[in-house]
Structure 1
Amino acid sequence: MENKLSDEYSELVQAQAELWNLTVGFQKSMSLRCALDLGIPDAINNYGQPMTLSQIQSALSLPSAKKPHLHRLLRMLTHIGFISEQNAGVGTEAVYGLTTMSRLVLKNEGASTMFPLMWFNLDSIMVKPSLHLGEWFKQDDQQKPFEMAHGCTFWEMTRKNSNFNKMFNDAMESTNKFFIDAFVKHVSDDFKGVHSLVDVGGGTGALARGIAGNFPHIECTVLDLPQVIQSIPNDGPVKFVSGNMFNYVPPADVIVLKWILHDWCDEDCIKILRRCKDAIPSREAGGKVIVIENVIGSTSSRACHESQLLSDMVMLTTFTAKERDKNEWKKLFADAGFGSYQVTYSIGFNSVIEIYP
């Protein structure tokens, strides 16, 4: 039984607990990483129904000595809503099942899984820069927290570390596949008069292939760096062009920029947007650029708003770039020479913005 405390002391105790939770809150992320590493969601899914602690331990081939500690991990995963715990009855073991969240990372879901995105962001290379954020704030030089942690930029890391490059490309592809259905549904009317489209920084082409598959009359092209597209066959419905978006964007009716601009400072974004503007025809001729990014403050969902803020901190520590609010986007588009824009709709914590020359 809890002792009754004065209001002042109760507030102090509550603040202490919340501060502690923030301090060690990274254990939630690391518990999630451990669950993905062990393959807990897939083990439950393969079993076909909720599993007991003993069954999970056996399915994962874990040493018997780890069983009590596995229970502690499952308790945390249940607390954060990643898996569910159900009481099977008096005198029987509890059973653990999947939730909507854990179903999103099932490996055998193929194109629909978000496992690569989660695995990439939980990798030590992506986590370590956050430890250098305080040091970065105190210094005048332009070195990014990512560079402080690894001695190179993010893009240099993708060039020299093939495993990291693959993780990044797989992660970006998983975000595209998760996004495609909703995106295609919303743009079906807008794409009727479109004959050509370039996905700038389109990675391995998941979004472009999704568009080409639903709109076969559109000639779709992906522009990306050599290390991204070098191993992709160029004989399908999507054409792949190796290049640098700061120097050149292939001409098209529509240019798509998905999760590109948040990687760059305003000055660099203006350069990219001007290249895109040069590549499209007039608005009267159907020219436009579709930007898919966060618009901070655009959602009433607390979870989605927190996702936007957390993503902003990832951009800060990785690129010293940022997510932007509506006024920041408006200024950026105007500075790049565009005549008008509109936020057409939102998908989760992402918004689809159409900008016109």
Structure 2
Amino acid sequence: MAAQAPTLQVPKDAELLQAQSDLWRHSLCYVTSTGLRCAIKLGIPTAIHHLGGVTSLPDLITALSLPPAKLPYLRRLMRMLVTMGVFAKADTASDGTTELFRLNALSSILVDGVDADEHHCQTSFVLAATSSHYLEASLGLSDWFKKDFGEGPPPSPFEEVHGVPLLDENTASLNPELDQLVIEAMAAHDNLGIGTIMRECHDLFKGLDSLTDCCGGDGTTARAIVKAHPHLKCTVLDLPKVIHNAPAHDVINFVAGDMFHTIPPAQAVMLKLVLLHWDDEDCVKILAQCKKAIPSREEGGKVIIIEVLVNPSLGPIIHESQVLFDVVMMTVTKGGQRDQSSWAEIFKKAGFSDYKIVKKLGARAVFEVDP
């Protein structure tokens, strides 16, 4: 005889109304993502920048070459994006009635076409994260949980839905435009904040004579390191298709290869936002190759790891973004975000003797791992 279900405790009136509002928010949060995507596709952040950083809706309509009849609909989109913190309201115009909208810190990193050392536009990251391929993988999550894949690590939901993994040599066969967008998105995401890292962790590279930047992409990070430490011989290792498009540089040595098989020797190896794409077993394999590529601890060998460090003490907003990112990584790759105990266990399994957290920078942490 089946056990009788316990009596459901019905929330009180105020709790019930709050619960309904929370349910709306969680069920409709995709509208924030699609609204953000819409703003980028229309070019709203860049248009506001060219209008001096502050604009009225009529001026924005004109700058975007949108039909004037769309003004009330644009107002509703902007109201939502302001509420969600993507844009900000400025002081009302001198006529006392005209609404003014401005860029804030978030929308400033969505401005295209700015040539500045520390400006790494994040539009490609948003467009990749809100692409139909990512969304289809997310929609297949419940089926993925139900399916028994047998022994060994299961494929990611992305691979299960689309037939090929993301961040793989075969991704281009699924969709070349998506493959290129993801490469651009990773570069934009990984390079954001490199200036902060160099300022806050300048001593991390002191005393080194050589460094290999694994999955260093187009060499943006390596160039920033060499600029701050001109004596340092820097090598960038990445897949052939990435290295093929890297700009020429007379100081940085670009090597096409696979970090699972071999890593160019150096006094230090750096992994910046790389391991989040891989499961624990693969992280151990990658780190084992890093250990082979560096000298002993006594000779100054070390691995520098810059990764997200999941920590509730960072506050609800940052922690929420970390756990959201974790589930995205679980969905589109085999990786994820990790807390300190998980990182410590991986370092130990890879054969490293010790580690320390050099600096915590927002959601990220800079680790120094000793052989």
* Equivalent residue, structure 2, for 1:118: 126
Displacement of 1:52: 1.8
* Equivalent residue, structure 1, for 2:157: 145
Picking from 83, 100, 107, the partner of 1:102 is 107
Map 1:1-357; keep pairs closer than 5 Å: 8-85=12-89, 86-88=91-93, 92-110=97-115, 111=117, 112=119, 113-141=121-149, 142-154=154-166, 155-160=168-173, 161-297=175-311, 299-357=313-371
| Local SS of the residue matching 2:80 | helix
| Local SS of the residue matching 2:331 | helix
- Give CA-to-partner distance per residue, 1:123-176, whole Å, 9 cap, x none: 222332111111111111123210133221111454434322322222222234
Cα distance in 2 for partners of 1:159, 1:271 equals 25
- Give CA-to-partner distance per residue, 1:102-132, whole Å, 9 cap, x none: 1121113335122332332222223321111
Gaps (5+ residues) in structure 1?
Answer: 1-6
| Local SS of the residue matching 2:241 | helix
Structure holding more helix per residue: 1
Displacement of 1:345: 0.8
Contact 2:273 2:307 in 1 (8 A): yes
Cα distance in 1 for partners of 2:200, 2:100 equals 40
Cα distance in 1 for partners of 2:312, 2:80 equals 31
Cα distance in 1 for partners of 2:222, 2:349 equals 28
Residues 312 and 123 from structure 1, CA distance in 2 versus in 1: closer, same or farther, beyond 3 angstroms? same
| Local SS of the residue matching 1:15 | helix
Contact 1:157 1:165 in 2 (8 A): no
Contact 2:128 2:134 in 1 (8 A): yes
| Local SS of the residue matching 1:199 | strand
Further displaced range: 335-344 or 67-76: 67-76
| Local SS of the residue matching 1:168 | helix
TM-score normalised by length of structure 1: 0.93
- Give CA-to-partner distance per residue, 1:251-289, whole Å, 9 cap, x none: 100100111111111111111100000100011111000
Residues 50 and 151 from structure 1, CA distance in 2 versus in 1: closer, same or farther, beyond 3 angstroms? same
Displacement of 1:218: 0.7
Gaps (5+ residues) in structure 2?
Answer: 1-10
- Give CA-to-partner distance per residue, 1:191-228, whole Å, 9 cap, x none: 22101100111111111111111111111111111111
Cα distance in 2 for partners of 1:170, 1:240 equals 18
Further displaced range: 82-91 or 120-129: 82-91
Cα distance in 1 for partners of 2:236, 2:135 equals 29
Contact 1:299 1:349 in 2 (8 A): no
Contact 1:293 1:350 in 2 (8 A): yes
TM-score normalised by length of structure 2: 0.90
State the one-letter code of the partner of 1:82: V
Contact 2:218 2:247 in 1 (8 A): no
Cα distance in 2 for partners of 1:163, 1:122 equals 14
Displacement of 1:78: 1.4
**Identity, % of aligned positions:** 40
- RMSD between aligned residues: 1.8
Contact 2:219 2:246 in 1 (8 A): no
| Local SS of the residue matching 2:355 | strand
| Local SS of the residue matching 2:365 | strand
Residues 74 and 346 from structure 1, CA distance in 2 versus in 1: closer, same or farther, beyond 3 angstroms? same
Contact 1:159 1:227 in 2 (8 A): no
